[in-house]
Amino acid sequence: MKTYKAYAKVNIFLKISGKREHYHEIVSRFMKVKNFYDTLSFVPKNGSAFEIIGDFSCATEQNTIYKAYLALQSSVSSKSLERLMITHAVLVEKSIPAFAGLGGGSSDAACYLKMCNEVLNLGLSLNQLAEIGLRVGADVPFFIYGYKSANVSGIGEIVEEFEEELLDLELFTPDVQISTPVVYQSYRKNFYNPIDEVEVNILKKTLSLDILKNFSALEANDLLAPALQEYPKLKNYYSADRHFSGSGSSFFRIKKDV
């Protein structure tokens, strides 16, 4: 069976632009991390239960791949999809750590949806897959489209390709498990200060390299301050040359020449 790659991402910047009921609206630059990915494939199995083979700490029912299966099946009601998951398990070789702000779970879910679409000839467009993926997680649509770099807004459903060269990035993921809901709740309670439309338009047109050169981590990512407040251990890893991805815990910087 063919092997598929589920790439990590970083948030070059992540700013809050408003609220939508219980959600925060964002404007962010997502960039794919080259040479850092999980791999997924279908492998034959015995037994009829949905099975994921891989190094996961969560139960199958909480896994984004299983949630993607449920979302896809409710959308297409495919007997061939049912048969595939009765006869095959999803083998995942994990490289992207969990709770790291690198989108590993979302990328795995997106990769699974695209695998099923290809293997079963479901004929779904990327837009249709992105709509299904959004039901699994806000970051999933970015990974569905497969852009190297994109401006992502709304609650993650608006993905606009941003044409630029991929940066060679160095990642640092401390052993700090961060809860995204906790960070967002802290932001709303203690740091809420959405940017205006003028700032949004400037950021969306600025090259990622210039963002990283001209903005500090705190300026580029609205979630760093609440993450530092809720998880003081992060301060041990925060330095002037590092930026912060998502709600954490990963930091990153442009790889330096040796």
Which residue numbers are catalytic? 9, 139
Which token pair is 252?
Answer: 């990153």
> How many whole angstroms separate alpha carbon 101 and alpha carbon 111?
18
Tell me the C-alpha distance between 197 and 113, whole Å.
34
Buried b / exposed e across 92-106, counting CB within 10 Å, b at 16+? beeebbebbbbbbbb
Residue 88 to residue 38: CA distance in whole angstroms:
19
Give dist(CA 63, CA 86) in Å, integer.
17
Cα–Cα distance list, 245 to 20, 23, 164, 167 (Å):
22, 19, 19, 14
Residues 6+ apart with CB under 8 A from 108: 6, 38, 40, 64, 65, 92
